[in-house]
């Protein structure tokens, strides 16, 4: 019984957190980055600063909801990844993306990650 309760709590919690990610609708880049920080997707100050500096609305076709934390179409059957995925990638790459280093983004799609990486390496 205890195992079932624990499994249920974990599944419900993850579902609620997943739903909250889509229900909380940031209205601008700053609010989006605050959401990513609150969710634990972005923690590093350099990553947070970079995400604040690159406004997602310039890379999305849908001008009404560019700040939703989900993938969005950018045309030609391609999508821009969800902001939490951008944050995750930058968090994983932060040690390699140091001032003066070089980076290459293969399959850059919208170019959002390329710009973020460029800002992090200077």
List the beta strands (DSSP E) in 32-122.
Answer: 72-75, 78-80
d(CA 69, CA 72): 9
- Of the candidates 53, 81, 108, 110, the residue annotated as catalytic is 81
Please answer whether residues 37 and 43 qualify as being in contact, where contact means their C-beta atoms are separated by less than 8 angstroms: yes
Q: Is 81 a catalytic residue?
A: yes
CB-based burial label for 83 (10 Å; 0-12, 13-18, 19+):
buried
Angle, helix 112-121 to helix 83-93, in steps of 10 degrees: 30
Residue positions annotated with a catalytic role: 81
């Amino acid at each position: 019984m205890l195992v079932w309760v624990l499994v249920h709590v974990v599944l419900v919690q993850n579902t609620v957190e997943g739903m909250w990610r889509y229900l909380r609708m940031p209205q601008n880049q700053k609010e989006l980055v605050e959401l990513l920080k609150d969710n634990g997707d972005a923690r590093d100050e350099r990553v947070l600063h970079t995400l604040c500096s690159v406004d997602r609305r310039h890379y999305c076709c849908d001008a009404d909801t560019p700040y939703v934390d989900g993938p969005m179409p950018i045309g030609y059957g391609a999508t821009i990844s969800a902001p939490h995925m951008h944050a995750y990638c930058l968090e994983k790459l932060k040690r390699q993306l140091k001032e003066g280093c070089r980076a290459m983004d293969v399959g850059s799609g919208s170019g959002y990650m390329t710009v973020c990486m460029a800002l992090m390496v200077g």
